[in-house]
Structure 1
Amino acid sequence: MAVTGSGFADLHTHTTASDGLHAPEENVRMAAQAGLSAIAITDHDTVAGLEAALAEGERLGIQVVPGVEISTVAGGQDIHVLGYYMDYKDDRFRKRLEELRSVRERRNEMMIARFNELGLPITLGEVAEIKARRGGKPEENIGRPHFADWLIEHGHAESLKDAFDRYLGKGGQAYVNPPRIHPSTAIEWIHEAGGSAVLAHPGLYGDEALVDELIQAGLDGIEAMHSDHSPEEEALYRRKAEDAHLLITAGSDFHGERLGETFHGPIGHRRIGIEVLEPLQERGRGSRS
């Protein structure tokens, strides 16, 4: 895919292929409405939404960056690694993502058990039904925002933020962390599929030693601009990326609007010039050589 023109890109969005509320085509249309020239589709551990998004991008003249957000664990917490421009049709890469989704399914079962221990009679079937009402397909991932929807609907949380603060986020009553690959392994997988690896929202981890470790492990970039980063965190990760000669990226981490709340931010809320796309492609090509 040639990178042409000028303008801005949002390099972190989710669709109904994982835990977003909008179909891939809708994300592309919203990118056009937001005045963006490019958008990345970065669903959790799946590339199922890419073909539809790419087709809609071709129709609208919006550059669609094929991406993924890989779930990993380090230091006892979830760490996410974004992949861009990998060969998403590669059989080995897709098989690896399938294995990660099986871990996600185990995570969901563990969360159900934890909720039941807390006296909340939630079932996985009820969460799947909520996902279906939001436009998700049976084969698509169930994520924590779907659990948040259940909590809100049944009066156990007042808002999405409340659901994550009390139950679903790090330190929450129902937070669980099954064994997963280390983020350095995700970097290797992305490189082996010919893509570029970028650390997602490092400000959410509170672990600068890990960020430095992953820079040494071969990161191609850092998502310095994210909907949940403060100006101080944005400046910190810009400096880290610049000092290590890494790419700086930006993403809204858009999942959709739930009960008037946009999680984490609307499409285009964080954006960066599309001149970053060519080096993102080139670094991926370099990983194949």
Structure 2
Amino acid sequence: MRSTNGNGRCDLHTHTSASDGMNSPAENVLLAKQKGLSGIAITDHDTVAGITEALEMGREAGMIVVPGIEISTNAGGKDIHVLGYGLNHEDSLLLERLTQLRATREKRNEMILDKLRELNIPISLQEVKEGLNRPLSPDESIGRPHIADAMVRKGYVTDLRDAFDRYLGEGRPAYASLPRIAPEVAMNWIRDAGGAPVLAHPGLYGDDHLVRDIVEKGKPAGIEVYHSDHGPADEERYMEMVNQYGLIATGGSDYHGIRQGVVFHGDVGSRSVPVETIERLMETTRS
């Protein structure tokens, strides 16, 4: 996979307005080009709704665009995210499965809003959707950042980070979790759709024994070693794990756009990997 543009590197973890990002898919592609990258992956939560637009802009801009996804799963009582790369975003079985996942996400949103009301923070789902300033299509998803935006607009918190630190983050009073598929199931779904599964940001789970168990059960193609919330020690530790299991080290910013003047999690290109990483991932889908 080659591009005549850019620095030979690719940000393999970005979100768009198809899930909880601020930019359109096309805007993410153009931003990656402005940053000097050769490519970008679109990895929205539980949806592939933004991929077609991104691919079209990639062709116009001479950028590599990797069709991707970030699937929400659960293991060991923790929310675990699984990235998928190079999948067929028009696969009918995948689309059916993702519809079921988004139904779970909607129930979780209702639980979060119920908990916020109990905390004297009355916010309706309609108010959350109004913050999008556009109609929500059936294959897009609402997430916690959208709820956080509504909390900021109504003056209950100062910014997105404040909302997560005080209310919406794991272990906080408005956090909610529902039974979800296991990581190895998501990895199989990605493989069924012709893609390569990767365990996302393992440093956020705070349990490397669990990470190893997921890797051994699911046998992903790679681990996201380079992430905006990983420090040097995390990168060194997970690179050792990659080498131990014979996997591929991937990386990306986990860019969600700019909210209240703050980039969340990191800016496009702040974490990247060589374009050859994409080729290595795609090789695993042909074996």
- What is the TM-score when the length of structure 1 is the normalising length? 0.95
- Structure-1 residue corresponding to 2:200: 200
Give the deviation of 1:4 after TM superposition.
Answer: 5.0
- Structure-2 residue corresponding to 1:171: 171
Q: How many residues align?
A: 283
Counterpart check, 1:37 vs 2:57:
no
- Structure-2 residue corresponding to 1:184: 184
Whole-angstrom distance in 1 between the partners of 2:102 and 2:2:
31
- Structure-2 residue corresponding to 1:241: 242
Deviates more, 1:2-11 or 1:235-244: 2-11
- What is the TM-score when the length of structure 2 is the normalising length? 0.96
Give the deviation of 1:259 after TM superposition.
Answer: 0.8
Whole-angstrom distance in 2 between the partners of 1:45 and 1:285:
24
Asked whether the 8 Å contact 2:3–2:62 carries over to 1, the reply is no
The 5 A counterparts of 1:1-289 are 2-3=1-2, 7-130=8-131, 132-133=132-133, 137-139=136-138, 140-216=140-216, 217-286=218-287
Give the deviation of 1:86 after TM superposition.
Answer: 1.3
SS of the residue aligned with 2:13?
coil
Deviates more, 1:137-146 or 1:220-229: 137-146
Whole-angstrom distance in 2 between the partners of 1:170 and 1:207:
14
Whole-angstrom distance in 2 between the partners of 1:200 and 1:284:
18
For structure 2, the residue ranges without an aligned partner over 5 or more in a row are none
Output one character per residue of 1:10-33: Cα deviation in whole Å (capped at 9) or x when no partner. 000000000000000000000000
* Aligned AA (2:276): E
Change (3 A) 1:230 1:45: same
Give the deviation of 1:77 after TM superposition.
Answer: 1.7
Output one character per residue of 1:115-159: Cα deviation in whole Å (capped at 9) or x when no partner. 1111111111000111x22x5634321111111111112222122
* Aligned AA (1:269): S
Whole-angstrom distance in 2 between the partners of 1:233 and 1:150:
33
* Aligned AA (1:156): Y
Could you say what the CA RMSD is over the residues aligned between the two structures, in angstroms? 1.2
For structure 1, the residue ranges without an aligned partner over 5 or more in a row are none
Whole-angstrom distance in 1 between the partners of 2:127 and 2:76:
32
* Aligned AA (1:58): R
SS of the residue aligned with 2:286?
helix
Whole-angstrom distance in 2 between the partners of 1:251 and 1:136:
29
Whole-angstrom distance in 2 between the partners of 1:230 and 1:154:
34
SS of the residue aligned with 2:100?
helix
